[in-house]
Structures are given as structure tokens and as C-alpha cells.
A and B are shown apart, each in its own frame.
Chain A
Amino acid sequence: MKTMQKIGGGRFEVEMQVCGSGDPLLYLHGAGGLVGVDPFLEELGKDFKVIAPHLPGYGDSTGGELIEDVVDASLFYHQLMDDLGIASAYVVGHSMGGMLAAELAAVDVHRVKKLVLVCPAGFWRDETPIPDFFAMDLSDLAANLFHDPKSPLAQMFTAIPEDAERLAEMYVERTKRLTQASKFLWPIPDRGLNKRAWRIAAPTLLLWGASDRLIPPVYAQEFTSRIKQAQTQTIKEAGHMVMYEQPEAFVKAVRGFLKA
């Protein structure tokens, strides 16, 4: 269900997908944003109260100009939890959202009960460079984001609308989102998490699509070598968009880890 919520004394008005009931689970989306109705969130709602805010600058959320770096983003999520009355939560973050979730968990270690980082950004290895996501054509994007770029799912994600007006709308929306993402990811998605990740105290699951070509699974080591209680799990026949490509395996892994 889509709701709007004022955060930080009205500095932000935040569009959120909220569903289910149970212990709160905060889901932080990746650079591409939320789709609208994300089935894996509905599924997680069977066990948790899922709260998926659109980062300011995404969707209908306002106040994007107030968030310029990872500190601003981390404080925003803290404020959101304050205003929603959530003392601590399970936090799941995908890609850019994984990077921000790790920041959030490092800044205040008491706010995150358990952490799931799904193909997270935040590190750079010269020997395994992450392809330039911002410069990609839609066809390159499909090849980098999906295990099977030819699948109907991959095609749906990267389809170019025939209608000129829809195309223009899509272009404006994509520009808006990626402009905001560029603050954390451009030109290299490293904003110093290597200095802070050691503070993360929450038990952490690194969850990766085995054939992620955007952020290859070897990046899990950057996290597991720094975070005290970390484990890795990979999902077969899934790329960077693992939660759309293998939703059942994804939900099972998240639920299994959080409920354990």
C-alpha cells in the first residue's frame, strides 16, 4: 500500500510502500528505485511489517536536495525510524540501498537488529571493476542486471516505450532517480564504508545473485572481512536483480536468516 509520510518536521514528505504485520523490516531500494508493486515485499509482509520508503528524490518523495552524501542519507533513515516510532528494525538493502543500509548500521549500531545486504555497493576493487552503470544503454543494462538478459522479466525492465510521451516521462523519471544516485555512486561507488564497516554489530547476511555481473559476488569478501557476524549466501540463476529473478529463493533466504 502506498502512503505518504511527513518526516523531520515536514522537511521530507516520503512515499512509502507499507505492507504486512510483525516486527518492522525496513527495505532500502537500489539506484533504480522501487517498481510500484514489488511482489517480494508483499511476500515478506507475511512475516514482517515491511516499510519501503522511496529515498527523497525518488518517486513522490520530496527533499532530495537535502540529501547530498551518505551522512545525510544515513541521518534521514534514522529520522524516519524516529518519526515512525521504530526503536530498532531488521534492515534489508539492495545495491545502493545495501550501501546505505550498511552506513546506517555502522553509524548507530543499536538501531539495526539484523542486516541483509543484497548485492550491495560501497566498495571498489581495481582487479574487479564494477561496470559503469550510468553510461549503459538499456540493452547493456539488461546484460549486467540479469542472469538471463533475454528473459521476459529482463525485457520488461529495460523496454523502451513506443509512445513518445511515455518515453519522455520515463526519461525524466530515470534522470531524476539516477541524479540522486550519482551522489553516492558517481564515478566510483565508494564513499568510505571501508573505514566504518567494522562498527556494524548486527548479524549480517550477504545475499548475492550468483551471476551478478554488475557487482560480482567476490565483493562479499569486502563485507565479511570487516563485519564481525557476517555470512554469505548466493542464489543460483540470479543476477543483480535477484529479488525479481528468483523471488521465492530470495524471500526464503531473507526470512530464514531473520527468523533464525
Chain B
Amino acid sequence: MKFTWFHLMPYRYLPEDFKDKYRSVWVDIPRDLYDPKVGHRLYNDYLDQLEFADRVGFDGLGVNEHHQNAYGLMPSPNIMAAALSRRTRHANLLVLGNSIALYNPPVRVAEEFAMLDVISGGRLVAGFPVGTSMDTNFCYGEVPATLREKYYEAHDLIVKAWTEKNVFSFNGKFTKLRYVNLWPKPLQQPRPPIWIPGGGSVETYDFCADHDYQYSFLSYFGYIAGKKVADGYWNVLAKKGKPLNPYSLGFAQVVAVSETDEQAERDYAPHMDYFYNRCLHVYNGFADAPGYRTLKTIKSGLLGQVGRQAALRREGLTWKDFLNEGYVIAGSPKTVRERLREAMKSLNCGHLMMLMQIGSMPPELVRKSTELFAREVMPHVRDLWSDWEDKWSPRPLPESERAMPAPIDLGRREVNGKSAPGATVRAESRSTAK
């Protein structure tokens, strides 16, 4: 069993009356609710949290892409992964991912992912989401009718750019390039592992199965409701005669650990409320642009993650409901161990993506929950799926071959050379600009 510590990086300070006063946390949320000084603190706290997760033994650190919202403040997750690549050592960098239909030309994604893979010594997992309707259609203006076609074309181009030995030309419908010649190429050869995050579009099952990609189900309804989607995926794999390897499924789940079950409620219930009622407060008209989901998916009856129906389903849920219905796995280490094992077995899931910073949760609670999980839960669930080979994790360079960042020394050096220890900086390298 593998554990990824996944950050959404929400804005923690939306006002109490946010839900009543504003129609949406996404797309047209007023800009004056964002304070960049607070943002400065948040980004740095959040990177600290991810770095801490690396140190306490998580297998992966997860970041993702969203636009124009207070739910997740990473328009470019690659910037976060770049920061993490220098300050972490062990964990995989799961960028889940870049919404590849949005980049023109999509080789930009191939290049940036290759850079991340090379800098990090081959620790990258490349995620290719379609992106939410809010992000792709409403914020980035993609025509819903052609979004998916553009996505598939971008995928073909990126994978070819990584794997093709020679310069090639690409005559796509959306992208035409005379010369594709990727410098740098990824460190992992022929390419980094590819994970496809999905919110329940039925086409994604086939896409993953046909390419042997890992399917990551990102749901905020928890593992009980998620079983329907997981089963849909396994059915497709079974039909195609593919092995039902648990590591080919990733699942996102809110997890929170405290000293006791009662303390968990006191610690985390308000932040769950913030997450579901503010972070996921999306105007129904933005949830699902016509054509964003295919008719096949709509007819399959799978529910979207946000919008009116999703909100109705979550309305009025108490902490107890959140627990009972599996929205959150929370409690004492013992409780979490048991629930988690049961959940992962029922989903047949080998890659857990854990949301441990929930909504407005402050750093000290995040640290407590992370530490308790690493110490008292993770070692007891690790043994799950030990018979299976994980073919979807990165294959980094061995430690002995990896470059080591220079030790961090935040002091400024004296230019004239005498006093500062280690002052090897030449005087002319200091700026003389006024």
C-alpha cells in the first residue's frame, strides 16, 4: 500500500457568510477576498506541510491545477513541484496534474514535466486531467464540444515527444508543429508514469485500461460512494482481460487522525464544514458546461462533484454522517487503521491520496494529524497488497547518483570579504543598482 500526501492549498480565510453572500467559490469569486500577504504565509505553510510529509515517510507528495478559485490555489502545480524537488529527498512528486488541453502547444507540459523529472532525479508522476468544467470551460474558455478531443490529441503529442527518438512533425487538428524535439528529455525512460485523474467520466476507464495508466478517482463523496466508480473501472479492466492490480487505482480520501475519536471531532469537524460548505460552494451553472461531460457519462447517472445535485446530497450532513457515509476517515489511530484497511480492501485500491489539510485547518493540526498517521497508522496498513507489483510509481536514480542541493544558508554574505564565514562570493556579483 502506498500513501500520497495530497495538498489542495485552499484559501483558509473565506468569511463566515461566504455561502450566503457569494454564489461561487470558483470562476467569479470576488478578487478582494484574496489577501496576498495571507497568501504568502499560506503557500509557505503548505510547502512546509508537504516537506514534513516527505520527512515522516509518505511515498508521494501530491499537487494539482485549478484556476480562479479559493478551493485550490495552484494555477501552476509545476511551480510547487519545482519548489518541492529541491527541499525533499524521498517522496515521489505527484503532479495530478496539468490540464493538457489548455496548453498551446502542449509540448510545454512535456517540457516542464521533463524538467521536473530531471531536477528531482526521476521522482515525477505525470498526471493528465481533463480539468474541471470550471477550470477549462469557464476560466480558460475552452469550447466544451471539443475539449476532450483536444485533450486526447495533447496526450498523444506529449507521450510521443517523450518517447520518440528523433525530431518529428506533428500534424494535429489543434496543434501543428514542424519540429518536435524535446530538450530536456525525462530522466525516467522511456517516460514518467502516467496517472489519469477522473471524476467519474466513463470514457476515462477505457483510456486508462487501454494505455495501462493508473486511474485516480478524485471524489469528495468518500470511499463508500466511490465504490460504484471503482467497480466500474474494475469491470472495464476485467472485460479487457487486464489484471486487477490494486496499484492501478488511486483514490483520494479525506483522512484525519487525533488522539481519540472524540478529540478528532473537536479538532476536525469545523474544518470539514469549511471544506464542504465553502471550498466546494460552486454555482450550479459553472459545474458542468453543456458538452463537458459526454452524453454517455450523463446517461450513466454518475453524479458530478460539484453543483446543485452534489450540494443537495451533502446538505445538512453532521460529523457523524461524514464518518458513517465515508466522506472522511477520522478518529483515533486505531479507528483510522481499521476504517482505512476496510476502505482500501473494498475499493481494491493500492494508491491512497490523502487529503490531510482540510479546508481551514491550521498548521499545528495538520502536523499532528500527519505525524500520528505516519507513526501509528501507516506502518499497520503498509502490508496491504504486498503480493502485487506497483508498476505505476516512479523509478528514481539511486541515492548514490543523485545531486544534493547545497545546504541552506539564509544569511547574506559580506562583499568585502573579511568577516562573513564562507564568504566566497566575489564582490562584483552583488548588485550595485540603487
> B residues within 8 A CB of A188?
141
The answer, yes or no, to whether A46 is at the interface (CB within 8 Å) is no
Q: Flag if A172 contacts B295 (CB, 8 Å).
A: yes
Q: Is A36 an interface residue (CB 8 A)?
A: no
Docked complex Cα distance between A59 and B177 (Å): 38
Q: Does chain A have a CB within 8 A of B290?
A: yes
Output the nearest chain B residue to A136 by Cβ-Cβ distance: B285
Query: Interface size for chain A: under 10, 10 to 19, 20 to 34, or 35 or more residues?
Result: 20 to 34
Residues on A with beta carbons closer than 8 Å to the beta carbon of B284: 137
- B143, A137: Cβ atoms closer than 8 Å: no
A180 beta carbon closer than 8 Å to chain B = yes
Cβ of B291 and Cβ of A175 under 8 Å apart?
yes
Q: Is A187 in contact with B298, judged by CB distance below 8 angstroms?
A: no
Known: A172-B299, A187-B141. A178 touches B146 (CB 8 A): no
A156: CB under 8 A from chain B? Answer: no
CB distance A68 to B286 under 8 Å? no
- Tell me the smallest distance from the CB of A182 to a CB of chain B, in Å: 5
Complex Cα distance, B290 from A186, in Å, reads 10
B289 and A134 form a contact (CB under 8 A): yes
- CB pair A137 B285 closer than 8 Å: yes
B144 touches A179 (CB 8 A): yes
Known: A135-B283, A187-B137, A187-B141. A182 touches B299 (CB 8 A): no
Closest chain A residue to B291, Cβ basis = A179
Question: Among A171, A175, A176, A180, which residue has the most Cβ atoms of chain B within 10 A?
Answer: A175
Instruction: Report the interface size for chain B: residues with CB under 8 A from the other chain.
Output: 18
**B298 in contact with A183 (CB, 8 Å):** no
Residues in A with CB closer than 8 Å to B291 are 175, 178-179, 182
Chain A contacts with B in 130-173, Cβ cutoff 8 A: 132, 134-137, 140, 171-172
Q: Which residues of A contact B285 (CB under 8 A)?
A: 132, 134-137, 140
Q: Which residues of chain B have C-beta atoms less than 8 A from A187's C-beta? A: 137-138, 141, 143
Find out whether the CB atom of A134 lies under 8 angstroms from the CB atom of B146.
no
Does the CB pair B286–A182 fall under 8 Å?
no
Contact residues of A between 174 and 217, Cβ < 8 Å to B: 174-183, 186-188
Query: At the interface, yes or no: B145 with Cβ under 8 Å from chain A?
Result: yes
Contact A175 B295 (CB under 8 A): yes
* B contact residues around A137 at 8 Å (CB): 284-285
CA distance A188 to B146 in the complex (A): 15
CB B387 to nearest CB in A, in angstroms, measures 43
Complex-state Cα separation, A135 to B137, whole angstroms: 10
Q: In the complex, what's the smallest C-beta–C-beta distance from A176 to chain B, in angstroms?
A: 7
| B residues in contact with A182, CB < 8 Å | 143-145, 289-291
The CA-CA distance from A176 to B285 in the complex, in Å, is 16
Option from B146, B293, B299 in Cβ contact (under 8 Å) with A68: B146
Q: Mark B298-327, 1 if CB is under 8 A from A, else 0.
A: 110000000000000000000000000000
In the complex, which residues of chain B have a beta carbon less than 8 angstroms from the beta carbon of A132? 285
B contact patch SS: helix
Known: A137-B285, A171-B298, A172-B298. A179 touches B138 (CB 8 A): no
A178 to B292, CA, bound (A): 11
Out of B138, B143, B146, name the residue touching A135 (CB < 8 Å). B138
CA distance A179 to B137 in the complex (A): 12
Q: Mark B133-166, 1 if CB is under 8 A from A, else 0.
A: 0000110010111100000000000000000000
B145 touches A183 (CB 8 A): yes
Q: Is the CB of A186 within 8 A of B137?
A: yes
* Distance, CA A126 to CA B215, complexed state (A): 42
Residues of B within 8 A of A178 (CB): 290-291
Nearest Cβ distance between residue A93 and chain B, in whole angstroms?
20
A197, B398: Cα distance in complex, Å: 65
Residue of B nearest to A176 (CB): B295
Chain B residues near A134 (CB, 8 Å)?
285, 289-290
Cα A188 to Cα B299 with chains together (Å):
28
Structural contact, B144 and A135, CB atoms closer than 8 A: no
- Is B290 a contact of A179 with CB atoms below 8 Å? yes
Select one of B138, B146, B290 contacting A175, CB under 8 A: B290
Bound: A38/B295 CA distance, A: 27
CA distance A181 to B290 in the complex (A): 9
Contacts of B298 on A, CB cut-off 8 Å?
171-172, 175
Q: How far is the CB of A130 from chain B (nearest CB, A)?
A: 15
Q: Closest residue to A132 on the B side, CB-wise?
A: B285
B146's contact among A140, A181, A183, by CB below 8 Å, is which?
Answer: A183
Residues on B with beta carbons closer than 8 Å to the beta carbon of A172: 295, 298-299
Q: Which residue of A lies closest to B140 (CB)?
A: A187
Point out the residues of chain B lying under 8 angstroms from A175, CB to CB. Answer: 290-291, 293, 295, 298
The distance in angstroms between the C-alpha atoms of A137 and B288, with both chains bound, is 12
Report B104-143 residues with CB < 8 Å from chain A CB: 137-138, 141, 143
A187 to chain B, nearest CB (A): 4
CA distance in complex: A140, B285 (Å)? 10
Q: Which residues of B contact A171 (CB under 8 A)?
A: 298
For A180, list chain B residues within 8 Å (CB): 145
Shortest beta-carbon distance, B283 to chain A, in Å?
Answer: 7
Q: Which chain B positions have C-beta within 8 A of A183? A: 143, 145-146
A136 to chain B, nearest CB (A): 6
- Cα(A179)–Cα(B290), bound, Å: 5
Give per-residue flags for B157-197: 1 if the beta carbon is below 8 A from chain A beta carbons, else 0.
00000000000000000000000000000000000000000
Closest chain-B Cβ to A77's Cβ sits at a distance in Å of: 19
Contact string against A for B residues 245-286, beta-carbon threshold 8 Å, 1 for contact and 0 otherwise: 000000000000000000000000000000000000001111
Q: Which residues of B contact A140 (CB under 8 A)?
A: 285
Bound Cα distance from A137 to B287, whole angstroms: 11
B141 and A135: CB pair below 8 A?
A: no
Chain B residues positioned under 8 Å from A179 (CB to CB): 144-145, 290-291
Given contacts A174-B290, A182-B289, 19 further A-B contacts (CB under 8 A): A68-B146, A132-B285, A135-B285, A135-B289, A136-B285, A175-B295, A175-B298, A178-B291, A179-B144, A179-B290, A182-B143, A182-B290, A183-B145, A183-B146, A186-B141, A186-B145, A186-B289, A187-B138, A188-B141
What are some 15 contacts across the A-B interface (CB < 8 A)?
A68-B145, A134-B290, A135-B286, A135-B289, A171-B298, A172-B295, A174-B290, A180-B145, A181-B290, A186-B143, A186-B289, A187-B137, A187-B138, A187-B143, A188-B141
List chain B positions with a Cβ less than 8 A from chain A: 137-138, 141, 143-146, 283-286, 289-291, 293, 295, 298-299
The list of the 6 closest CB pairs from A to B, nearest first, reads A179-B291, A178-B290, A135-B285, A187-B141, A186-B143, A175-B290
